[in-house]
């Protein structure tokens, strides 16, 4: 068995989504994914409720559609954060949103390799993601982002608070994340590794002198 990671291309010139026009003076948390139980958005909404009163300059924007949309909206109302949690729906190109956000959070209960977090890191954004499955390979240490336990709103809240209250840490972590993901998870590296694997399999099957 040979493991090949998904890869991302370095982001090109992107027109940032203008969050300031919609949310003037606010910090933006972005999350992306199907509105399904797997993605753990209920725990992120709970974390937003815990931050209310401490960081009233905070807005959460979720990109994606799914069967739990009505349930999640109801939870936001119940937690009294409906004015701070916004469901943008399906978006074909998330790059402008990633470029314009301040922080990316993915509270999944399980994932393979979280592509959305990988793309956020490539855009130079600090990420807070649950430490499930391949996440620890994407964020190997706190210098590249924050891993939190799944189903733990308090841990999500604390990680978000740390970044919000330390803009220099937020900037440094975002830069480290970008450099790391483009070095270890680039589309070019994935293609080269796939090409090398094909050559090795060809030699094993036909011998080193096969054309």
The string of pLDDT tens digits covering residues 116-159 is: 999 999 999 999 999 998 888 899 999 999 999 999 999 999 99
pLDDT over 90 percentage in the chain: 72
For 93-110, b/e burial (b = at least 16 CB within 10 A) is: ebbbbbbbbbbbbbbbee
- In this prediction the pTM is 0.84
Q: Is residue 5 part of a domain?
A: no
Q: Is residue 1 part of a domain?
A: no
pLDDT score recorded for residue 2: 47
Q: Is residue 167 part of a domain?
A: yes
pLDDT over 70 percentage in the chain: 82
Q: Check pLDDT > 70 for residue 205.
A: no
pLDDT band at residue 195, thresholds of 50, 70 and 90? Answer: very low
Instruction: Say which residues have a Cβ less than 8 Å from residue 137's Cβ, sequence separation at least 6.
Output: 5, 113
Q: How many domains does the chain have?
A: 1
Please, which contacts does 168-176 make with residues 24 or more away whose CB atoms are closer than 8 Å? 169/126, 170/102, 170/103, 170/126, 172/143, 173/126, 173/142, 173/143, 173/144, 173/145, 174/121, 174/124, 174/125, 174/126, 175/124, 176/143, 176/144
CATH code for position 192: 3.40.50.2000
Q: Is residue 2 part of a domain?
A: no
Q: Check pLDDT > 70 for residue 28.
A: yes
Mean pLDDT value across residues 178-195: 69
Domain enclosing residue 124, as ranges: 19-206
Q: Is residue 3 part of a domain?
A: no
Q: Is residue 14 part of a domain?
A: no
Q: Is residue 145 part of a domain?
A: yes
Averaged pLDDT of the chain: 88
pLDDT band at residue 4, thresholds of 50, 70 and 90? Answer: very low
Q: Is residue 8 part of a domain?
A: no
Q: Check pLDDT > 70 for residue 78.
A: yes
- CA dist 66 and 167 (Å) reads 33
Mean pLDDT value across residues 100-114: 93
pLDDT score recorded for residue 141: 95
pLDDT band at residue 14, thresholds of 50, 70 and 90? Answer: confident
pLDDT score recorded for residue 206: 67
pLDDT score recorded for residue 190: 54
């Amino acid at each position: 068995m040979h493991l090949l990671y998904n890869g991302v291309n370095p982001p090109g010139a992107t027109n940032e989504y203008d969050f300031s026009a919609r949310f003037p003076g606010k910090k933006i948390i972005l999350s992306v994914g199907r509105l399904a139980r797997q993605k753990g958005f209920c725990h992120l909404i709970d974390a937003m409720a815990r931050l209310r009163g401490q960081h009233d300059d905070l807005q959460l924007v979720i990109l994606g559609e799914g069967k739990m949309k009505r349930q999640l909206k109801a939870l936001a109302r119940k937690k009294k954060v409906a004015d701070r949690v916004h469901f943008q729906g399906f978006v074909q190109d998330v790059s402008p949103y990633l470029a314009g956000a301040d922080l990316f959070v993915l509270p999944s209960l399980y994932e393979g390799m979280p592509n959305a977090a990988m793309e956020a890191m490539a855009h130079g954004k600090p990420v807070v993601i649950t430490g499930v499955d391949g996440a620890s390979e994407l964020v190997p240490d706190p210098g590249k982002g924050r891993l939190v336990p799944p189903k733990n709103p308090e841990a999500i809240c604390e990680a978000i608070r740390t970044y919000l209250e330390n803009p220099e840490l937020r900037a440094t972590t975002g830069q480290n994340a970008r450099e790391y993901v483009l070095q270890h998870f680039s589309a070019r590296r994935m293609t080269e590794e796939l090409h090398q694997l094909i050559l090795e399999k060809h030699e094993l099957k036909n011998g080193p002198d096969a054309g």
